[in-house]
Structure 1
């Protein structure tokens, strides 16, 4: 099967990406398109404007295929594509599969509750996920992966199919007629339709393969299959997860989700909402002078900020960032906090403090999961664009006190998509073989144990204590400034 290729289709909160791999894991071509800015009609509401997910994905496909053909490759040698789209969103479709309402993003507080019909949803026939919607756009089929139904959905995670319990359907305000048919990860959802082929520039008939929810696909694509190896996925939502074999029913500090390997599970603890968004926010709001300095030195603004922050000592000389820019559903009153300012602090302190706050928050959530599983973490894998930062990688290693690695392909969801796609068409004998071929380990950062001891003290004595003092004040602030 030489000179054959697999496509990974990855749409996140901020961008759409299409990557084409050969069967040895080499990237042959890539296309990317930024999504438009989210519509925020009111506080804690978030919608994707117009048909932005599909419009952006079409451009990403076209760019990937242009580069693919310019390299002298043949489109008919593409075996299949795996599709991974942002999870925990709600998509409302008309009878013909078109959007009946803008895609409701996972940051929207309406996703904290079951679907509820309102007059604005007139004409809704199907309630589905982003992966169900994009599958329909690509194939014309009303099908979806069973592994992207998280939250208020009547999905049975033991049978990997819709629940047969009427009470579960009632609790979700849904009926079987409202939802799409589902298949398991690594199974074929349908084939690229003639209409879609003209729009995205690939041959009609290419198999479109189910994956799972985006974080599970990243975990597969990062190669984090061994016990004690955890993946931290740096996205707009920063999540942490480990693979498992059982659908744990009474977990207290993690959720058991379907993995991107059928019959396996992914254990995921609480993460950081608007995690990497916070870094982009800092860069865009406070980076004007840094941008000028970056131009003078001939580096990107991100590289300049990382260089400056690398000179700041661990702990930022007392400056702490609490990451509640998008609060959890159980405490919607919370807001982001920066505390500890004094005359020593510069933009470099602020930037490093944002990074350290993410690492502290993730460690505190992950320690609870590790203790409950009775499996201490022995290594971290970091995926996502933030893994490009040596500083951020070292902060994770120092905060956790364990070796921390990144892969050559930082966006591991694309790799996971290609693995699922390859399994569906027989390109690989097993998920283990596919992972060995497609996942390529990059740099490993060893912890500075002196920094680790200091971070442990700062985290235990200060960072973990913050909410108990700020919550009473933020509860009073929220009704004064937040309007639904």
Structure 2
């Protein structure tokens, strides 16, 4: 084993993961712990129960460090850890840094508006992000990355610091005293305290390094820096993004966010809310019979569903899935839908239709971004657990009509964390060198041109027109059931 390592700390909507890499990008070991089911106190609200982010992360740390020790590793050989936590959440802290209220998840409709104090928030001293909270847990510092402030925050994305415009603070209903100090990606936030070290099983004093918001860290870890190369991140929220050099002020079809490289920007179009969650939902709600069949065949239920769906023709013989299980803020009345059922359709058709619906939705959003940027997509990189599916990878290639690949490490946020951590402690001379060492390309999928032509016709003639026909009905339905 090498004697120098970097740690990537990645907490998403569904799980917490800690990965230890050597300086050549090889995964030495990892720990992973699922988060608990979200609390839904009312429609369109979503909160993480108790102190779930930290509790899950502690388990993941202990798993990783136990496996690291079993392989002969020593805690003193870990140079630094990069920390990437779910973006677009709101965290309310007491004076001592403890939670004053459960973490409000990005799917909660309260995040569509500026912070507003209510009686349930008694004792709030700081309003911050999930990365600010976990940074405090690890280091005791009230600091955060400047690149995880998306939405109603007075962040200046040109200076990479808090705004000096009083109107920006007023519009967000915040004051400077309510927020944390910020540093840039690749800079040290603080060092693991003795108290945190006892809780997570790592040595005190390890540098904790700022990254960015989770999708930006994934983009860095996927290596998608070249023009015309887009990353599609398959998470609970499915996002698509490309790197850029300018903070575009008047974009219509994408948002310019701070990238995980200071001074660079990430252009991200609209995505799919509850994207991979929808696949898990289908498996859990309709997979009982499939699970029995999977057990009989000695495979996982995911592998069985992918096998079955691979035998279904492109287009699912007319079965179409509309992915609005979690509607966009501008159309909260929308709901998910499957249309086109007839007697041919099986669970395999339904499963494949869910996958195709994600690909169609992403293509329609991404085409608008590519047209506005005047840079057509020439290659897709897919990250996240869904990239393990050969079927899903081929569907993306066929729908978009461009080569599509996945990296060896499907969860590229952990790689991005390690890159930022390595830059902070000068393990690498440049981000380009770090990417060359840590990002390892995997399988490549070539589009089937016949399928691509059919998908284009299905998308243009049917899929793109579904919302305009369903919206009036769903607008009438929403007040009756919500």
3-state SS in 2 of match to 1:21: strand
1:3 alignment counterpart: 3
Give the match's secondary structure for 1:6: strand
Q: Structure 1: how far apart are the matches of 2:75 and 2:134?
A: 21
- 1:53 Cα deviation (Å)? 0.1
Deviation at 1:104, TM superposition (A): 0.1
**1:370-420 Cα deviation digits (max 9, x unpaired):** 000000000000000000000000000000000000000000000000000
Aligned-partner Cα distance in 1 for 2:407–2:333: 37
Separation (CA, whole Å) in 1 of partners of 2:263 and 2:118: 37
Query: Does 2:171 align with 1:178?
Result: no
TM-fit CA distance, 1:66:
0.1
Structure-1-length-normalised TM-score: 0.99
C-alpha deviation, 1:29, in angstroms: 0.9
Match of 2:44 in 1: 44
Instruction: Please state whether the residue corresponding to 1:399 is helix, strand or coil.
Output: helix
1:2 CA displacement: 5.0
1:25 aligns with: 25
Matching residue of 2:238: 238
> 1:476: which partner in 2?
476
Distance 1:175 1:187 in 2: 25
Other-structure match for 1:423: 423
Where does structure 2 lack aligned partners over 5 or more consecutive residues? none
In 1, Cα distance between equivalents of 2:74 and 2:58: 19
Separation in structure 1 between the aligned mates of residue 352 and residue 409 of structure 2, nearest angstrom: 24
**Distance in 2 (alpha carbons) for counterparts of 1:458 and 1:112:** 33
Work out whether 1:298 is the aligned partner of 2:313.
no
Partners of 1:387 and 1:320 in 2: CA distance: 22
What corresponds to 2:385 in structure 1?
385
1:74 deviates by 1.0
1:210 aligns to what?
Answer: 210
Moved >3 Å (runs of 4+): none
Partner Cα separation in structure 1 for residue 327 and residue 379 of structure 2: 29
1:253-289 deviations in Å (ceiling 9; x for gaps)? 0000000000000000000000000000000000000
Matches within 5 A, 1:52-451: 52-451=52-451
**CA distance, structure 1, for counterparts of residue 299 and residue 17 of structure 2:** 25
Q: Secondary structure at the match of 1:230?
A: strand
1:6-49 deviations in whole A, cap 9, x for unaligned?
00000000000000000000001100000000000011000000
SS in 2 for 1:88: coil
User: Deviations along 1:81-117, whole A, 9 cap, x unmatched?
Assistant: 0000000000000000000000000000000000000
Gaps of 5+ in 1: none
SS for the counterpart of 2:362 is helix
Alpha-carbon separation, structure 2, partners of 1:20 and 1:480: 51
* Matched position secondary structure for 2:21: strand
Distance 2:272 2:123 in 1: 35
| Aligned counterparts of 1:2 and 1:84: Cα–Cα separation in 2 | 25
Aligned length: 482
Distance 2:45 2:74 in 1: 44
How far does the alpha carbon of each residue in 1:129-179 deviate from its partner, in whole angstroms, 9 at most, with x for none? Answer: 000000000000000000000000000000000000000000000000000
> TM-score, normalised to structure 2's length?
1.00
Kindly state the Cα deviation for residue 3 of structure 1 after the two structures are TM-superposed. 1.6
Give the secondary-structure state (helix, strand or coil) at the position aligned to 1:232.
strand
Cα distance in 2 for partners of 1:179, 1:477 equals 40
The answer as to 2:14 corresponding to 1:35 is: no
User: Secondary structure at the residue paired with 1:158?
Assistant: coil
